[in-house]
Amino acid sequence: MATTEYSGKAIAHGQKVAIVVSRFNELISKQLLAGALDELTRLSEKECAVEVFWVPGSFEIAGTAARLAEKGGYDGILALGCLIEGETDHYKLLATEVAKGLAKLAVEGSVPVGFGVLATHSFEDALNRAGIKAGNEGALAMRSLIEMMDLYGQVKK
């Protein structure tokens, strides 16, 4: 039996990346973006081109990412944002729809989509996941995107 395995490497090769970031909970989003940009710089063999698109809230992330994928010219798209539980279940509804929209884009689109949208129970949890204690989820999402860009490059049409 002949078996061939493929695995993406966490090395960027001068690709063009779009990052869609929510301004809502901007203190957290800025930290996620900083972590993502730092990770991309750290893992790049050649300088990558990055375009950052700020949207009002997390709900607007998937639609903007879809427009960017449709426009073309990007090797990967990263979504960053933060939803924090309040007195209602509104954040759960938003988190579900954002995840569904980005998942649909990832499945149907031709470029990888990285998911760095937090859904937390408190502002403290969000801060911790944006780099205070538990690492920076923006950096982790960028690392996954870089691996997927490499893997997509290995998959021939």
Residues tagged active-site: 90
Tokens 């950096």 sit at which residue?
A: 139
Tokens 């760095």 sit at which residue?
A: 116
Residue 9 in tokens: 């490497």
Looking at 14-112, which runs of residues are DSSP E strands? 16-22, 44-46, 49-55, 76-84
Q: Are 46 and 13 in contact, with CB atoms under 8 Å apart?
A: yes
